[in-house]
């Protein structure tokens, strides 16, 4: 089955700097890679996702890159702000029209702290 590794487990950056979180996955059949943000005491919420037919996707200050050959994908946050402080989770899914295609396997999470 799929295994997702996420690094680093904690990350502290100065406000205005960039933050990068990296994930690797094991199943080459996976083709959907979402990122979730979880604020303290709240539910996880999707912030960006990418499918395997795309190498990069941007949404304002957030971008995700995918390298299918190396089986890794990364989250990039530019011009960080205090409200970016949260736990971020990457995930991978086999996708497609197969049983269990909707399943997500999550990484262990990265606690991001933005220092003012």
> Can you list the positions of beta strands (E) in the chain?
4-7, 10-14, 19-25, 32-38, 45-51, 56-59, 62-67, 72-77, 86-92, 105-106, 110-115
Q: Contact with other proteins (CB under 8 A): which of 8, 46, 56, 81? A: 46
The answer to whether residue 26 forms part of the interface with other proteins (CB under 8 A) is: no
Q: Which is nearer to other proteins, 10 or 18 (CB)?
A: 10
The answer to whether residue 10 forms part of the interface with other proteins (CB under 8 A) is: no
The answer to whether residue 96 forms part of the interface with other proteins (CB under 8 A) is: yes
Instruction: From 12-20, 42-50, 58-66, 70-78, give the range in contact with other proteins by CB under 8 A.
Output: 42-50
Find where tokens 């943000």 sit: 37
């Amino acid at each position: 089955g799929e295994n997702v590794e996420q690094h680093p487990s904690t990350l502290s950056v100065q406000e205005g700097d960039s933050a990068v979180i990296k994930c690797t996955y094991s199943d080459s059949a996976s083709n959907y890679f979402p990122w979730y943000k979880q604020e303290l005491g709240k539910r996880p919420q999707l912030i960006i996702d990418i499918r395997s037919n795309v190498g990069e996707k941007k949404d304002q200050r957030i971008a995700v890159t995918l390298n299918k050959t190396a089986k890794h994908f990364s989250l990039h946050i530019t011009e960080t702000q205090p409200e970016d402080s949260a736990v971020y989770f990457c995930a991978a899914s086999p996708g497609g029209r197969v049983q269990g295609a909707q399943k997500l396997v999550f990484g262990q999470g990265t606690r991001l702290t933005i220092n003012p």
